[in-house]
Structure 1
Amino acid sequence: MSSSVVSCSETWGIWPCSSSLGGSVILMAMYGRIVLFGANLIAEGSEQLCEVLDAGLIGGLLLPVLGALPDTLIVIFSGLGGAPDEAAERIAVGMGTLAGSTAMLLTIGWGGSLIVGRCNLHAGVSIDERLTRKYDVVNTGATADSLSCINAGAMLLTAIPYMVIQIPASAGDDHDRRVALVSVFVAFIAMAAYMVYQLRSPEIQRRRKALAHSAFMHHLAVQRASALLQSATFGFSARRTTSGNGSVTSSDSQRAWDLVDEDGLPNDAALEGLFREVDKDNNGMIDMDEFMDMMCAITPSDEEATHIEGITVKPPSRGEVALLFAQLDAGPGTPGSAGRGSARSMSHASDGAITLNEFKRGMGKWLREHQAEMQRTKIAATTTAKSGRFALPPGAVQQALLFEDEAVEFPPHSDDDMGGESENNALIGSDTSTIHLDTAPPSHREVVLKAVCHLVAGTVVCAAASDPLVGAVSSFSSAAGLPPFYVAFVAAPFASNASELFSSLAFAMKKKKKIFSMTLSQLYGAVCMNNTLVLGMFLILVYTKSLSWTYTAETFVTLLLILLVGLLGMSAYTFRTWVGIAILLLYPLTIGLVVFLKESLGWQ
Structure 2
Amino acid sequence: MQVSGLSGSTETAQSQVSVGMGLLAGSTVLILTLIWGSCVVVGKCDIQNSVAIDNKDTKGFSLTGSGVSTDIWTSYAARIMVISVIPFIIVQLPQLLNSNLGKDIAVLVSLIVSVALFLSYCLYQVFQPWIQRRRIAFAKHKHVISGILQHLKTRALGSLLKGDGEPNEEIIKKLFHAMDQDGDGSISASELRAMIVGIRFDEIQLDRDDAVDKVMKEFDTSCDSRIDLQEFLTGISKWIHEAKRSGDDSSNNDPHTMKFLFDFHSRTKQEHDLLGAGGQSDEIIEGVESPKWTTFKAGLMLLVGTLIAAAFADPLIDVVDNFSSATSIPTFFISFVALPLATSCEAVSAIMFASRKKIRTASLTFSQLYGSATMNNVLCLSVFLALVYFRGLEWDFSAEVLVILIVCIVMGVFSSFRTVFPLWTSSIAFLLYPFSVALIYVLDYVYGWS
> Normalising by structure 2, what TM-score?
0.84
Instruction: Give the superposed CA RMSD.
Output: 3.6
Q: What is the match of residue 208 of structure 1?
A: 135
Deviation at 1:216, TM superposition (A): 1.0
Aligned equivalents of 1:394, 1:387: Cα separation in 2: 11
Q: Secondary structure at the match of 1:393?
A: helix
Q: 1:373 to 1:115 in 2, by over 3 A?
A: farther
Q: What is the match of residue 64 of structure 2?
A: 138
Listed as ranges, the matches of 1:546-561 within 5 Å are 546-561=392-407
Deviation at 1:224, TM superposition (A): 0.9
Q: What is the match of residue 293 of structure 2?
A: 446
Q: What is the match of residue 120 of structure 2?
A: 193
Is 1:352 paired with 2:352? no
Quick one: which of 471, 486, 491 aligns to 2:333?
486
Deviation at 1:363, TM superposition (A): 0.9
Quick one: which of 546, 570, 573 aligns to 2:419?
573
Quick one: which of 213, 216, 219 aligns to 1:325?
216
Aligned equivalents of 1:313, 1:586: Cα separation in 2: 39
Is 1:218 paired with 2:169? no
Aligned equivalents of 1:533, 1:389: Cα separation in 2: 48
Q: What is the match of residue 415 of structure 1?
A: none
Q: What is the match of residue 59 of structure 1?
A: none
Deviations 1:214-273, CA, capped at 9 Å, x for gaps: 1111111111111111xxx2xxxxxxxxxxxxxxxxxxxxxxx32234665433343334
Q: What is the match of residue 6 of structure 1?
A: none
Larger of the two Rg values belongs to structure: 1
Name stretches of at least 5 consecutive residues in structure 2 with no aligned partner: 280-286
Aligned equivalents of 1:321, 1:399: Cα separation in 2: 21
> Normalising by structure 1, what TM-score?
0.64
Deviations 1:12-40, CA, capped at 9 Å, x for gaps: xxxxxxxxxxxxxxxxxxxxxxxxxxxxx
Query: Bigger CA drift: 101-110 or 484-493?
Result: 484-493
Q: What is the match of residue 500 of structure 1?
A: 346
C-alpha contact 2:92 2:398 (8 A) present in aligned 1: yes
C-alpha contact 1:383 1:391 (8 A) present in aligned 2: no
Deviation at 1:387, TM superposition (A): 9.6
Query: Bigger CA drift: 134-143 or 359-368?
Result: 134-143
Residue type of the alignment partner of 2:22: G
Deviations 1:164-216, CA, capped at 9 Å, x for gaps: 21113311234632322222222212211211221111111111111111111
Deviation at 1:603, TM superposition (A): 3.6
Residue type of the alignment partner of 1:228: R
Q: What is the match of residue 382 of structure 2?
A: 536
Q: 1:382 to 1:313 in 2, by over 3 A?
A: farther
Q: What is the match of residue 271 of structure 2?
A: 399
Deviation at 1:512, TM superposition (A): 3.0
Q: What is the match of residue 81 of structure 2?
A: 155
Listed as ranges, the matches of 1:88-127 within 5 Å are 88=14, 91-127=17-53
Q: Secondary structure at the match of 1:367?
A: helix
Residue type of the alignment partner of 1:179: A
Aligned equivalents of 1:120, 1:380: Cα separation in 2: 34
Q: What is the match of residue 364 of structure 1?
A: 237
Q: What is the match of residue 272 of structure 1?
A: 173
Aligned equivalents of 1:559, 1:321: Cα separation in 2: 50
Aligned equivalents of 1:158, 1:354: Cα separation in 2: 50
Deviation at 1:81, TM superposition (A): 4.6
Q: Secondary structure at the match of 1:141?
A: strand
Q: 1:291 to 1:458 in 2, by over 3 A?
A: same
Q: 1:444 to 1:262 in 2, by over 3 A?
A: same
Aligned equivalents of 2:153, 2:326: Cα separation in 1: 77
Is 1:258 paired with 2:159? yes
Aligned equivalents of 1:406, 1:449: Cα separation in 2: 28
Q: Secondary structure at the match of 2:426?
A: helix
Q: What is the match of residue 284 of structure 2?
A: none
C-alpha contact 1:97 1:493 (8 A) present in aligned 2: yes
Q: Secondary structure at the match of 1:208?
A: helix
C-alpha contact 1:288 1:325 (8 A) present in aligned 2: yes
Deviations 1:88-119, CA, capped at 9 Å, x for gaps: 56643332222112111111232222322223
Aligned equivalents of 2:375, 2:278: Cα separation in 1: 35
Q: 1:389 to 1:456 in 2, by over 3 A?
A: closer
Q: 1:322 to 1:183 in 2, by over 3 A?
A: closer
Residue type of the alignment partner of 1:275: F
Residue type of the alignment partner of 1:210: A
Aligned equivalents of 2:358, 2:189: Cα separation in 1: 39
Q: Secondary structure at the match of 1:218?
A: helix
Deviations 1:516-544, CA, capped at 9 Å, x for gaps: 22222222222222112211111122223
C-alpha contact 1:110 1:523 (8 A) present in aligned 2: yes
Is 1:516 paired with 2:389? no
Deviation at 1:80, TM superposition (A): 7.2
Q: Secondary structure at the match of 2:227?
A: coil
Deviation at 1:132, TM superposition (A): 3.0
Q: 1:386 to 1:469 in 2, by over 3 A?
A: same
Aligned equivalents of 2:204, 2:386: Cα separation in 1: 57
Structure 1 or 2: larger helix share?
Answer: 2
Q: What is the match of residue 282 of structure 2?
A: none
Aligned equivalents of 2:370, 2:311: Cα separation in 1: 25
Deviation at 1:449, TM superposition (A): 3.9
Q: 1:561 to 1:208 in 2, by over 3 A?
A: same
Name stretches of at least 5 consecutive residues in structure 1 with no aligned partner: 1-72, 234-256, 305-310, 331-348, 408-439
Deviation at 1:555, TM superposition (A): 1.3
